[in-house]
Structure 1
């Protein structure tokens, strides 16, 4: 069957336009691929410089051993259900390890800014620039959680009083704290002009937040003004929650885990507060990324 001239003209001169249909699964797969590639780059950097990871693990172990030995004869049973000061100190060291690691999350991004690599990532044809932030957050959070998990295992082996049933809840609480502080540090790395300012701010924040929490002593041992500061400090809520989790076997979601001058908080309310804290900092880091890109 032969085609007529009109049919041939319609085939030759009518453009064939196929509109692309963006697939959510395809976009999500590309975003995961970008995040994986950027995270792998950070893993390779850490593999070439393992001293940083070892120092992040060695420092809290020193705190645990030295402070635990320094106050081993303290009458800990007077103000705590723990059987030794090292047992009382372990939650504070766990939170301090996660806190320190998460605060340093902005340093790789800051160095990328100073060396010009961040500008290359911005102009690269990425599906979303948030994959840059996601890779840094995922890498630092994983390292911080790995360090705290090692310390928790060592403390469990030494004390033999930490219940394995509470490991999952302790991991969730530490994960929420680490994620929030990681986003805060990444936001600072996009706002501050250089790594000198970021390191100075980290040094200023680090120890004051530690000593104004219940990591070393309970609320009852603090003066009133310090109790107010400790009740505002988010580290105190995380420390007291973990302390309640690993000394109590019959803890449920409605049990009181934190007692401050503002009142009592159950495990459910504290998880909700930490999720809200993460959402607020998530909006903050998204705003910082969009502002920096513009």
Structure 2
């Protein structure tokens, strides 16, 4: 019970920090919808339906836009922890009688809520533009679950990096270098079959690929046989990244307490 109170209190802190910058919050929520309208709209006419597998490129691109949003938010999720470490506020939190796990879990809870709001905005805009998920309302809930798993994986990876690097400059350099390759080395905007053989190998090791595949099946094909495979691979990748993130956070905070 005390642990749950700690998580809620720290989650409230993240929420208050976000609400103080309302304009930033507004643009953060609306930006993915803008990407969907302009990016997918501009590429749709250039895509061959025989390669993509559907004439509705907008529906094909919705999972990619969701994944793109989650990757960006994963980087943003680690920034408060990074600045807390640099300013010394993390040391103050460590001196309080709270469990260290509540710090990282509260960030996951807050980030999942933010990402869920953005995913709903993306799906609503897609609905206005004529996109209808093949799995209906139940599929929308499944897409939210898939996005939450991907959020867990990306946030854990970013927080592990934030704990490992010496400064925010290094953090931004690494994430700026890795974010776009991570996205484009997946099936976000083109199918795997359209990639060179070496890129397909890299994409199959990318957790984004399985999250996007699961959401794309829910959008276009319905409850197909490939869905459990994609979800299983995503759950495994999320669990591995969560273990790495928790280990790195525990090691960093143990050193600071010592």
Query: CA separation of 1:53/1:82 partners in 2, compared to 1, >3 Å: closer, same or farther?
Result: farther
The residue that corresponds to 1:189 in the other structure is 162
Task: Tell me how far apart the structure 1 counterparts of residues 124 and 162 of structure 2 sit (CA, whole Å).
Answer: 32
Match 1:83 to one of 49, 55, 79: 55
Query: CA separation of 1:69/1:273 partners in 2, compared to 1, >3 Å: closer, same or farther?
Result: closer
The residue that corresponds to 1:117 in the other structure is 89
In the alignment, structure 1 residue 107 sits paired with structure 2 residue 112: no
8 Å CA contact 1:60, 1:93 repeated in 2: yes
More RCO (CA 8 Å, sep 6+): 2
Match 2:128 to one of 157, 160, 164: 157
Structure 1 position 63, deviation (Å): 2.3
The residue that corresponds to 1:271 in the other structure is 231
The residue that corresponds to 2:9 in the other structure is 37
Match 2:210 to one of 220, 237, 250: 237
Structure 1 position 206, deviation (Å): 1.1
Task: Tell me how far apart the structure 2 counterparts of residues 216 and 76 of structure 1 sit (CA, whole Å).
Answer: 12
CA-atom RMSD, angstroms? 1.8
The residue that corresponds to 2:221 in the other structure is 248
Looking at secondary structure, tell me which structure has more helix per residue. Answer: 2
Task: Tell me how far apart the structure 2 counterparts of residues 79 and 213 of structure 1 sit (CA, whole Å).
Answer: 16
8 Å CA contact 1:98, 1:178 repeated in 2: yes
8 Å CA contact 1:31, 1:131 repeated in 2: yes
Task: Tell me how far apart the structure 2 counterparts of residues 231 and 282 of structure 1 sit (CA, whole Å).
Answer: 19
How many residues matched? 252
Residues 179-211 of structure 1: CA distance to partner in whole angstroms, max 9, x if unpaired? 111111111111111111111111111111111
Structure 1 position 81, deviation (Å): 4.2
8 Å CA contact 1:56, 1:97 repeated in 2: no
Task: Tell me how far apart the structure 2 counterparts of residues 245 and 151 of structure 1 sit (CA, whole Å).
Answer: 15
The residue that corresponds to 2:105 in the other structure is 134
Trace 1:10-49 onto structure 2 (pairs within 5 A): 29-49=1-21
Gapped regions of structure 2 (runs ≥ 5): none
Q: Which has more radius of gyration?
A: 1
Structure 1 position 108, deviation (Å): 0.5
Task: Tell me how far apart the structure 2 counterparts of residues 77 and 89 of structure 1 sit (CA, whole Å).
Answer: 13
The residue that corresponds to 2:70 in the other structure is 98
Structure 1 position 178, deviation (Å): 0.7
Structure 1 position 75, deviation (Å): 5.2
Structure 1 position 74, deviation (Å): 3.3
Task: Tell me how far apart the structure 1 counterparts of residues 88 and 76 of structure 2 sit (CA, whole Å).
Answer: 20
SS in 2 for 1:213: coil
The residue that corresponds to 1:211 in the other structure is 184
8 Å CA contact 2:159, 2:249 repeated in 1: no
SS in 1 for 2:190: coil
The residue that corresponds to 1:8 in the other structure is none
The residue that corresponds to 1:55 in the other structure is 27
